[in-house]
Amino acid sequence: MTIVLIAALLYLTATAALVRAVGSDTPRPGRGWLAAAVPAMLLHAGYHVQVALQSAGGPDMHFFAALSLVGLGMAGLTSLVGARGRMAALGVVVFPLAAVLLGAYHGYGHEPSKELGWRLATHAWLALLSYATLSIAALLAIMQWLQERALRRREFRPWLRALPPLADLESLLFRVITVGFFLLTLTLVTGVLFVDDLLAQKLVHKTVLSVLSWIVFGVLLIGRRRYGWRGLKAVHWTLSAMLLLLLAFFGSQFVIELVFGHTTR
């Protein structure tokens, strides 16, 4: 519990530092927030390691554990991108979310996990990393929509100064989508190669929705390359694909584990 509380407080401290920077006249928030964000992520990861060492079987990857790990991945990606540019403003949303998801995992309890073996473990970790990356893409798409909306209405809010120019934000969005699409492709390939029986493991609906999401992201990238898709069209396609992906993993896992009391492993 102590680790969780300290990690949550550090996440909120990093958030407060970013909020102050966004509300000031400083064009860039600096890197002071990393002094709180990095220890928070280390403690977050350490808590999962501690639970894994104290539990039978492999690492816990059930519903709340997976949510917490995705939150950790999002925090890590936000810190990586934010330390190199002006997208640290993402942390205002991502860091509190990571704190909440870590708290939910601790509060819900920990389910015993079966030993996955290296093949299924590789598939699971790729899935979590792809979800975290594409979740960042969804947040970037929302920020792009908000920025475009504010500029059209000539509402020059202080938070706009914390964002890069619209063209740079859009370029970053598609770079993140490209990386996430590659990771999602590896996730689907390893799923086909390493999962023995989709019907027995109640994974058909998850696979179908994941493939649909992969198709939507792929069409978006093709449309961007061949037809120059951008703006609201890119935002709508990104959020639609992400919604399918969220339903694929967390929606189906919520129903299977928490409603029906079963497990996918």
Q: What is the pLDDT of residues 95-126, one digit of tens each?
A: 999 999 999 888 876 666 666 676 777 888 88
Report CA-CA distances (Å) from 107 to 1, 22, 188.
Answer: 9, 32, 31
The confidence band for 181, taking pLDDT boundaries of 50, 70 and 90, is very high
Letter for the amino acid at 56? Answer: A
- What average pLDDT does this structure show over 78-82? 85
User: Cα–Cα distance between 6 and 39 in angstroms, integer?
Assistant: 9
Q: Scanning the structure block, which residue is given the tokens 């809010």? A: 157
Task: Give the single-character DSSP code of 28.
Answer: S
pLDDT score for 260? 47
pLDDT score for 198? 58
- Highest mean pLDDT of the ranges 53-57, 87-91, 165-169, 185-189: 185-189
